[in-house]
Amino acid sequence: MKKAKLTLVFCLVLLFVLSPAAALSEKRVGTAETVSYALNPSVSEGVSISAADEGSMEILAHEEGDTLVFDETKTLSFTAEYGAGWLICDRYSHFFPNDGRASRTNVGPGVYVYSFSADEGGSVPLSDWDSVSINASAGALPKLYIDAEVPFDEIGKEAWVNANYTLTLGTKEFESGGFEGSGKVKGRGNSSWTYPKKPYSIKLDSKASLLDIPKTKKYAIIPSYYDGSLMRNYITFKTFQDLEGIGYVPKCEFVDVYLNGEYNGIYILCERIGIEKSKIDIEEATAEDLTGGYLIEKDINGKVDFDSDLWFKCPYWANSAKDYFVLKSPEPEDEELTDAMLDYLEDYMQRIHDCIIGENGEDYLDYVDTSSWIDFIIVQEVTKNIDGNMKTSCYMYKESGDDHLYMTAPWDFDLAYGRVPWNNQAPGHNDVDDCPDANTADGFMCVNSSNPWMDKLYDTKPEFRQALKERYTRYRSALIEDMFRMIDEQAAYLYSVQAPNNQLWGMSFTGGVASLKSWLTARIEWLDGEWLIGDEDYMKGDVNMDGAVDAADALLGLRASMGMTELSAEAYELADVDSDGEVTAADALLILRYSLGIIPALE
């Protein structure tokens, strides 16, 4: 049968059936055809917009490369209204910057009309058209007063100290309202505890919801001392609340903190990680059931307290300091039960290690929850987190009767996003040549020899690598785009209140935000080159005019998409192959989806 080039119809089928490609299909395709383009500003909390009149935000135009060319003369306009206590913030809003055709007019208290005068034949960069945003600044942050029974310079990391807490609200509204109560406080953190602006753990006497965080007794205040933008942890926690594979990411909000009446700067109030209904919802292991559940932290020598932590050996040493695991929960009081649990977990982790490295013949899928592990890698690589390569502050859990290990609770991003210049080279323990400096925009931080588990899976399991690329592609047009918008939104939110913190601690907020944005832009550009699946990756195979594809060509297309040299015979045999060696386009898609693990079996 004579074959023809891939038809548009089949392209569209591929784009919408395969989820990664479907995500990409949402992007506008450049066209010279005149159509109606709608101005669609994004807005932050505290500001609302409305069209000046019907059609005032639409214009006939066409695209030429990266430019939008207007096909009529028209003034586009909308009204922005700022809520009580919210302030206009030009620095972190975008309305055709440095373009004389754009204007803003104050027409009332907190009310502004934004206008853009477009002439037929004139143009704007598509990037300016797509990035129009109006972000508001808070007049005041919530204030958290911690009054301890001793001076704060006497509070350490070991002993809890009695304290009273008062939380008052600022400009932003929270349903949980203010708070007054009692509890305890102590220091927390490792290297961050050595900084002048110190972090603290909070333990309330009774569960309470602070700033709409679900009720809990356990909170932390994170100082972000070396983070001029103040938001590395914040944007990470907020952006990745909707991960597909990791079900729990800590919730947080910004607060001004006062320690025994003294202003100590802007912190992030965050719930502490733990086994709770609103956090990691699993049942703790018992003497009768040593198989789970457990909450475990990966750590290293120098950060483990060998006298008080419930630590057990890690089966590898790949970082600059020796690797260990710490059992965070449960915390049995019985020494014999503690030893039994630690022995069980040490043996369990060894089995995981052996199956991933390939030393015991077991299938890694029997132990690795691939969905949460893929999310873990993506979060750590987007942020290029020097601690997040299974070095320290990396959390995971195991459930009762389930051998799978689940990654959870991304944590500790103060030194991520290009903040520090060092690396995880450990001569004699890993391949130092594949460990990049943490401040560069290129190079894998999580997928290298300082993290042998992730490195082995990525390098030797093509189906794992392909699934990771597909999920990154979905996140790229959703969560990661949200992260870029969130940086400007939160920079605007903090802009009017950040000066006292910067004066106290000698930081540059605007410099920190600019550095964060430029580094993240370069980082995502590099990751796109490694992981982003383009439409062409799915346009393999030679489809005939009647919508059928040669079976051999369909499999070639699959192999090209997955980077595989061999395919599952089962996938091929389950296909509905005609006597002339062809399969329908629909069946070819089923083969592809089955082999990629998108569906558990051919339908």
Helices (H), 104-257: 126-130, 232-239
- Specify the pLDDT at position 307: 93
Q: In the chain, which residues have pLDDT < 50?
A: 1-30, 538-549, 560, 563-567, 572, 575, 578-579, 599-603
pLDDT at 473: 97
CA-CA distance, 407 to 250, in Å (whole number)? 13
Q: Does any domain span residue 530? A: no
581 belongs to a structural domain:
yes
At 555 the pLDDT is 54
Asked if residues 52 and 113 have their Cβ atoms less than 8 Å apart, the reply is: yes
Count of other CB atoms within 10 angstroms of residue 401: 9
Kindly report the pTM of this predicted structure. 0.84
Same domain for 178 and 197, yes or no, is: yes
Domain match, 161 and 244 both: yes
Q: Are residues 51 and 104 in the same domain?
A: yes
210 and 251 in a single domain? The answer is yes
Query: Which residues, including other chains, have CB under 8 Å from residue 355's CB and lie 6 or more apart?
Result: 361, 362, 363, 364, 366, 367
267 shares its domain with 303? no
Same domain, 170 and 235: yes
Has residue 109 been placed in a domain? yes
Same domain, 340 and 401: yes
Q: Is 417 left (phi over 0), alpha (psi -120 to 50) or beta?
A: left
Is 423 among the domain residues? yes
* Judgement on whether residues 329 and 463 belong to the same structural domain of the protein: yes
> Are residue 460 and residue 491 in the same domain, yes or no?
no
Structurally, the chain folds into a number of domains equal to: 4
Quote the pLDDT of residue 189: 86
> Considering the domain boundaries, does residue 358 fall inside one?
yes
CA distances from 294 to 27, 273, 400, 528, 544 (A): 42, 13, 8, 36, 54
C-alpha triplet 191, 487, 86: angle, nearest 5°: 110
Question: Is residue 513 assigned to a domain?
Answer: no
Q: At what angle do helices 370-383 and 462-476 cross, to 10 degrees?
A: 60
Q: Which residues are within 8 A (CB) of 309 and not within 5 positions of it... i.e. 6 or more apart?
A: 299, 326
Within this chain, do residues 439 and 469 fall inside the same structural domain, yes or no?
yes
Instruction: Write down which residue in 103, 134, 165 finishes a domain.
Output: 134
Burial class of 9 by CB neighbour count within 10 A (0 to 12, 13 to 18, 19+): exposed
Q: Domain span at residue 265?
A: 143-272+484-507
Task: Verify that 60 and 82 share a domain, yes or no.
Answer: yes
* Structure tokens, 348: 């369990």
| DSSP annotation string for 251-305 | -EEEEEEEETTEEEEEEEEEEPP-SSTTSS--PPPBTTBTT--EEEEEEETTT--
In single-letter form, the type of residue at position 31 comes to T
What is the C-alpha separation between 524 and 242, in angstroms, rounded? 19
Q: Report the pLDDT value the prediction gives residue 32, as an integer from 0 to 100.
A: 75
With tokens 């009647």, the residue in question is: 546
Query: Is the same domain home to 334 and 456?
Result: yes
Instruction: Evaluate whether residue 516 is within a structural domain.
Output: no
- With respect to residue 350, please indicate whether it lies within any of the assigned structural domains: yes
